[in-house]
Amino acid sequence: MEALAGAAGWLAANPLTFLGAVGDHLMLSLVGLGLGILVALPLGVAVAHRPRLAEAAIAGAGALRTIPSLAVLAALLPLLGVGFTPSVLALALLALPPVLVNTVTGLRGADRAALDAARGLGMGAVRRALQVELPLASPLVFAGLRIAAVQVVSAAALATFIGGGGLGDLVTQGLALLDTGRMLVGAVAIALLALATEAGFGLLERHLARRMGGA
Amino acid sequence: MIELRGLTKRWPGADRAAVDEVTLSVPEGTSCALIGPSGSGKTTTLRMVNRLVEPSGGSLRIAGEDALKQDPVRLRRGIGYVIQEVGLFPHRSVAENVATVPRLLGWADARIKARVEEVLTLTGLDPARFAARRPHQLSGGERQRVGVARALAGDPPVLLMDEPFGAVDPVVRGRLQEEVLRLLKTLRKTVLVVTHDLEEAVRLGDAVAVLRDGRMAQHAPAAEMLARPADGFVAEFLGSDRALKRLALLPAVAARREGRAEGEALPPGASLRDALAALLARGTKAVPLADGGVATLDAVAEAGAPMSAAAAGPAGSP
Ligand SMILES: Nc1ncnc2c1ncn2[C@@H]1O[C@H](COP(=O)(O)OP(=O)(O)OP(=O)(O)O)[C@@H](O)[C@H]1O
Ligand SMILES: [Mg+2]
C-alpha cells in the first residue's frame, strides 16, 4: 500500500518526466522494431526458397536468439558507444530472429499449388511475392511480428544501461535514489506496455485471420 | 498449334532423361491427351510447354513462334494452365482468382468484370452466386470449374491441363469432362491434357500420346490407337477391353443395315457402344437408328472390328 501511494505520489509530482520516458520508450521500440523488420522480412523472402540459405538463416537466428538481451547491449557498447543509436541497433537485432524465422517458415509452408498456379499463369517474381506468397504466409509472419514487438518493448527497458533512455531510466534512477515510487511507476509501465503490445497485435491477427477467411 | 520437336529434360543427377526426345504436334483447335504410367514424364513434358520446366534440349513452337526464345513470364500469360490440385488463391474471391490473367494483361476494370462473368457462366457457375465467394466456400467440383474459368479468362489460344479433374468423384468428373470438352471444342482451343485415366484420355483427346520412360510410345487418334496399338506395352496399357472402349468412339450408323425393328430408335449421335448396349439390354437382334435403318449385332461386330472400313475413318478424329 505504501509503495503504491509512493508511486501515485511520484506520478502526480512528475507527469512530464513520466510522459517523456514513455515517449522515449516507444520511440526506441518503434525504430528498433521497424529496423529489424526492414532487414528480416526481405531477407526471409529472399532465402525462403533456397533450402541451404534458409537453413543457415534459421540457424543464425536461433543462435542470435539464445544471446541474452543484456549481453547484446553490452557487446555493442565498445563498438558504438552509448545513447540512442546503439540501443536501437540492439533492439533491431532482437527483433530479427522471430520475424526471420516466421517469414521463412510461413513462406515455405505456403500452399504449393497456389504458388505453382501463380507462376504458371504468368506472375513475375515480385508480384508473386507480394500478391500470393506473403498473403499466404501472413498469419505466421504476423505472429513473428507480435513476438518481436513484445520482446523489443520489454527489452527497451534495458536501454537505460547504455544511456538509451526510456522507462528503464525510472527503474534505475528509483533504485539509485531509493525512490520506490519512481521505480514502481517505471516497472509497471513497462509491463503494461508489453501487455498492450501483445493484446493489440492479437486483435490485429484475429482481424487478419477473418479477412483470410480461415483458409 | 503446339509443336514439340526432340524435346528433352534431364534433371540434375538423374541417370536417364525424364523426357527423352519427345516429338509431338497438336494442330490448332484440337486436343491431345498425354497418358502413361506414373513417372513416365507427362507432367514434365506439359510443364516444358509453358516453361515452368526449362528443357535441356529440343525445340518448342507455339502458334509458329519459337517459345524458347520468348520471355517465359509473358509466354505463360498466353497459355491457360489448369493443375490437378487446382491451386486457387485462398485469400482471394472467385472473381479475383478468375481475373488474375486479365489483370496481368492490363485490361480495363470494366472489361475484366464482364469477362469474369462470361467465363464463370461458360464454366457453369452463376456469377451472382459464386463471384464473391472464397475458394474454401466451394465444393471440389466447383473449385475445379473455377480453375478452368481462371485458365480461360485471358482467352488464351492454348490450354495446358494436368489431371484437371483428379480431385472430384467419378460422377462429377464425368460431367465436368463432358462439359469442358464441349466448351473447348466450341472455343476452338488447342489443348494438351495430361491424365492417367484412359477413359478420360479417349474422351478428352482427339489424339492420344502414350509416354513410356520419357519416350513417345505411340501418338495417334484415339480410335486408331485402340484398334492398332503400336506394341505390346501400349496394348497392355490400353487394356484387354480396348476393342470395347473403341466402340464408344465410333458412330452407330457405321453398323447401319436396311430393315425395320421394334422399339425406340437410338438418339442421333449414338455410338456403336450405345447400339451394342441397347441390343444386349433389349435382347433383340436389331435396334432402329435415328435416321432410319437398323443396327444389328453382326453389323456392330463387323463395324467395330479393328480392320473394318469404319476404323479407317472414325468419328471425331482429327
Ligand atoms: N523437380 C524435379 N527434380 C528432379 N526430378 C524430377 C522433378 N520433377 C520430376 N522429376 C522426375 O522426372 C520423372 C518424370 O516425372 P513426371 O512428374 O513428369 O512424371 P508423370 O508422368 O507426371 O508422373 P505422375 O503420373 O505420377 O504424375 C520422374 O522420375 C521424377 O522423379
Ligand atoms: Mg504428373
- Report how many Cβ contacts below 8 Å link chain A to chain B: 74
Task: Please measure the distance between the N-terminal and C-terminal CA atoms of chain B and give it in whole angstroms.
Answer: 13
Binary contact (A213, B90; C-beta < 8 A): yes
Would you say residue A7 has pLDDT above 50?
yes
Binary contact (B136, A212; C-beta < 8 A): no
Distance B41 CA to ligand 2 centre (A): 7
B151 contacts on A by Cβ (under 8 Å): 121
| Residue in B with minimal Cα distance to A116 | B87
Asked if the interface predicted TM-score (ipTM) of this complex is over 0.85, the answer is: no
A136 contacts on B by Cβ (under 8 Å): 89-91
Distance B252 CA to ligand 2 centre (A): 35
Q: In angstroms, what CA-CA distances link A37 with A40, A75, A103, A206?
A: 5, 22, 10, 21
- The C-alpha cell at A74 is 553490452
Backbone angles phi, psi at B267, to 5 degrees: -70, 155
- Other C-beta atoms lying within 10 Å of the C-beta of residue B292: 11
The tens digit of pLDDT for each residue in A10-69 reads: 888 888 999 999 999 999 999 999 999 999 999 998 898 899 999 999 999 988 888 888
- Other C-beta atoms lying within 10 Å of the C-beta of residue A158: 23
The tens digit of pLDDT for each residue in A168-186 reads: 998 999 989 888 889 999 9
Cβ B62 vs Cβ B1: under 8 Å:
yes
Query: Which architecture characterizes domain A2-214 according to CATH?
Result: Orthogonal Bundle (1.10)
The CA distance from A116 to B70, in Å, is 20
Distance B87 CA to ligand 1 centre (A): 19
Q: In angstroms, what CA-CA distances link A15 with A5, A7, A20, A161?
A: 15, 12, 9, 23
pLDDT in tens, chain B (318 residues): 999 999 999 999 989 999 999 999 999 999 999 999 999 999 999 999 999 999 999 999 998 899 999 999 999 999 999 988 899 999 999 999 999 999 999 999 999 999 999 999 988 899 999 999 999 999 988 999 999 999 999 999 999 999 888 777 777 787 888 888 888 888 899 999 998 888 888 888 899 999 999 999 999 998 899 989 999 999 988 888 888 888 888 888 888 888 888 888 888 888 899 999 999 999 888 899 988 889 988 888 888 887 654 444 444 334
**CA nearest B50: which of A116, A29, A159?**
A116
Binary contact (B89, A117; C-beta < 8 A): yes
Tell me whether strands B215-221 and B207-212 are parallel, antiparallel or unpaired. Answer: antiparallel
- The C-alpha cell at A46 is 529472399
Confidence band for A78, pLDDT divided at 50, 70 and 90: confident
Q: What is the pTM of this model?
A: 0.79
Cβ B32 vs Cβ B221: under 8 Å:
no
Interface of B with A in 77-96 (CB under 8 A): 77-78, 81, 83, 85-91
DSSP 8-class letter at A124: -
- The C-alpha cell at A149 is 514487438
Distance A177 CA to ligand 2 centre (A): 74
Confidence band for A5, pLDDT divided at 50, 70 and 90: confident
- Pocket mutation for ligand 1, best pick of B10, B43, B197 (most atoms within 8 Å of C-beta): B43
| CA-based torsion, B280, B281, B287, B288: positive or negative | negative
A76 or B103: which leads in pLDDT:
B103
Cβ B58 vs Cβ B50: under 8 Å:
no
- The C-alpha cell at A197 is 503490445
A121 contacts on B by Cβ (under 8 Å): 76-77, 81, 100-101, 104, 150-151
Confidence band for A210, pLDDT divided at 50, 70 and 90: confident
Question: What atom in ligand 1 is closest to the CA of residue B211?
Answer: 21
Environment of ion ligand 2 (residues, CB < 5 A) = B 43
Output the pLDDT for position B317.
38
Question: Residues near ligand 1 with C-beta < 6 Å?
Answer: B 11, 18, 36, 38-44, 196
Output the pLDDT for position A212.
66
**Residue A134, helix vs strand vs coil:** helix
